[in-house]
A and B are shown apart, each in its own frame.
Chain A
């Protein structure tokens, strides 16, 4: 860990100005991923701008088309967001996704924005002695032909085959959340579906954010599908493990016919994967296990696998069916 200058930001605008003006500056919030990376030697900023004490810790309702939305400050801790009564009632997939991630201690520490911006846990990205295009562009991808059990099955490129690790991001992607971003040229909104990138030939870039952009809030719009939503995660350990695959799903039913459906997948791609083809196939159909399996199959056309990660295809298909049929039956899914 190289020597660091540390500045506690007075307000969001000055934080943005400080980081924008210094290519080797980084924001520090909960620190659960950044401090990890500092120690591993996979990032070496010269300046840390601490935004953890900025007053971005409110959860507020706002008027939105079709009801009341929720604006979540970037510094709201994962545990507080998961326990927030409005989230539990109207966006249960968000609460479930948070509770399926990390540990109680880490959820107290990790922030909403930081969760979305956490980086891959690919073992080669985290091992500075091995080639990795995401960590060091142009060095090659060690996960191709190496430890591939967690590798992506959708949207991978020859340069990077890893997956995005966040659970929260999957739920937010399914429920059409958007992030509020403060940059040098002011505030803008980015839909969650457009925040994270596929790797292409620039796997070093996880998101579309510019250097110095600060996520200040996340906005959760209301919907019937969000109210009837869940998050289903398959993993090795029963707790405290990253997803093998995960599904965020929301349903609006008219009898047993799908009026609206939201599906996003985790653990399968370099970004949370909104399964729009599957959603389109399900809308207007009767919600049956077979229908969901077929819709998922459609979404999985073009999936690429190796011996080590081929299991993800049946696993994500089945987990999608499980999440949707349980939602339809009014059963708890976890």
Chain B
């Protein structure tokens, strides 16, 4: 059963017919040709498909596209095109926070979301004081990034990149 939805992706508005079974990830990749979000597990277990959806980091694999009619989506490609990268993307490059690159767009989107959540004062599992404003410590950044798996094991370098983007420089 097809259904027509509209999505704004990286600033471009699209109207697209999707099967009611089509996930947001497949709508992006397969219908719209937006392949920056990656399919790593398709079951919410790896984070490779992470985008910013209505401003927050969000998986696209465990989401039926039809339910997201009208959504505003920013992918890593929308954060910064190749020739005009977002500061977080530059930090990933400088610290070699990537190897095969497949989890990278999701890591980048997640990092942007993490820094925003910290700014809003959201606590995390490792926050000592639930009611205090959390600091972007290494422990906090690692815990918050943990929904994005990297099998190449670039974690140490990704942390360095996110730490720099959090304004902590070379700790």
Contact = CB atoms under 8 A, between A and B. Distances in A.
Consider the complex of A and B and state whether they touch directly, i.e. have CB atoms less than 8 Å apart. Answer: yes
B20 A334 contact: no
Given A83-B121, A104-B57, A39 B67 contact: no
A109 interface: yes
Contact of B44 (A3, A106, A237): A106
A147 B47 CA distance: 26
B93 interface: no
B58 A240 contact: no
Contacts of B117: 79, 104
B62 A35 contact: yes
Contact of A332 (B43, B44, B67, B129): B129
Most chain A CB within 10 A, of B42, B62, B123, is at B62
Interface string A7-47: 01000000000000000000010011001101110000000
Contacts of B58: 105, 108-109
A48 B20 contact: yes
B136 interface: no
Contact of A106 (B59, B113, B127): B59
B128 interface: yes
Interface in A199-246: 237-240
Nearest to B127: A99
A52 interface: yes
Nearest to A239: B146
Contacts of A103: 47, 146-148
Interface residues of A, number: 41
B43 A104 contact: no
Given A4-B1, A39-B43, A88-B123, A31 B130 contact: no
B64 A31 contact: yes
Contacts, number: 111
B45 to A, nearest CB: 8
Contacts of A28: 64, 67
B62 A36 contact: yes
Interface string B122-156: 11111111110000000000111011100000000
A332 B120 contact: no
Nearest to B114: A104
Contacts of B43: 36, 39-40
B155 to A, nearest CB: 12
Contacts of A334: 125-126
Contacts of A52: 67
Nearest to A106: B44
Interface in A75-126: 79, 82-83, 85, 88-89, 92, 95-96, 99-100, 102-106, 108-109
Most chain B CB within 10 A, of A35, A50, A237, A334, is at A35
Nearest to A40: B43
Nearest to B57: A105
A36 B59 CA distance: 12
B63 interface: yes
B147 A106 contact: yes
Contacts of A100: 125
Contacts of A32: 44, 59, 62
A4 B131 contact: no
Nearest to B117: A104
11 contacts: A3-B1, A5-B20, A36-B44, A79-B56, A88-B123, A105-B47, A105-B50, A108-B56, A108-B57, A238-B146, A240-B146
Given A32-B44, A103-B148, 18 more contacts: A3-B21, A4-B1, A5-B20, A6-B20, A6-B66, A32-B62, A35-B62, A36-B44, A48-B20, A79-B122, A85-B131, A88-B130, A95-B130, A96-B125, A104-B113, A104-B117, A108-B56, A109-B63
